[in-house]
Structure 1
């Protein structure tokens, strides 16, 4: 049986997948007639419409408009750190005690604000990292019940389940919180597993990234991997 690859957004390769998974992706709208496909012996990457007959899909009509280009998220604004004030001029001879106290108090206040700004500049990125680690761990936890269902199906049927089978919804049906979609199927090495995509528009380190859970049926063990930076991932998912 042919193993297929497709180009997500015609940029990132996904697969391999059996023919029925490609058909399911097309039916669910995840891929369309212009999505690039490849299989062994096919030569160059070609749009799905060229393989419609082979896959048993009705020949799709050509799209009459190009898909809009994705827009990369803007970087966060630079933090404004107050500068230290210029050194205060020495008090003039005869300046009253109250005036001297006011000048000293103003200098202390400005220095204190500068110190607070520096501490905030250190603390805010650390807190941001903590938030992204928490979101990645939450997605990993959300996937645990589904991974148990995959292992149970594989043990009972001696094959991998796919989206749309009894007990397994479409990729988009698993969307919740920071989890955008989950594809269930078989990996290139023959292992069962799932491919989860993060949906965190306000977290550039996570949004659009992928987490894979690979299940070895013979050893009954799971392996976690991701294209997210290791510092945001649970310990057992780090490369």
Structure 2
């Protein structure tokens, strides 16, 4: 059931998707040409590596997939729900994601490519589960397959003159715009900062994490004073 989406939620989705696009482009361009925000291609590569007996890369891909899964498991364990609520658990999880991105930055500075990929994938797994549902709306901010699917279905329904809530478009367009913006920003960041480019997603998640904790404590104080 699609409901009215607050502008703050759309902005949050945009920033999350921007971070995912930025992380994915940075790892694709600089480290092994490895995607970290979606696992479909990595699972396909597993079969290729197995067929051609590329066992070292096969083992690495297994660790990448496990890292993504660990991120989602961690999200489920800490949050205890898939629907967004203003709770401290979201702050804890954002803090964990921030730690992962900082580890990406440090690993990149030390030229530890494998660790960059692992920490980036762990971060993506956390983020993809962090805001997976809002008032019954399923959300994915780290990859675009679902976005294009949902937009295509919505357009097809519109062509059949079926009533489609505008929120279905605004939600997916916010994610799409954010992801593309992140991809575009990765180029100048790499050009001018090289491996320090990971300071971009670090600043983004630091902003989200600090903003969330500020909002949470402000809300808690207001509730206490009532």
| TM-score normalised by L of structure 1 | 0.27
Mark the structure with the bigger radius of gyration.
1
Pick the structure with more strand per residue. 1
Normalised by the size of structure 2, how large is the TM-score?
A: 0.28
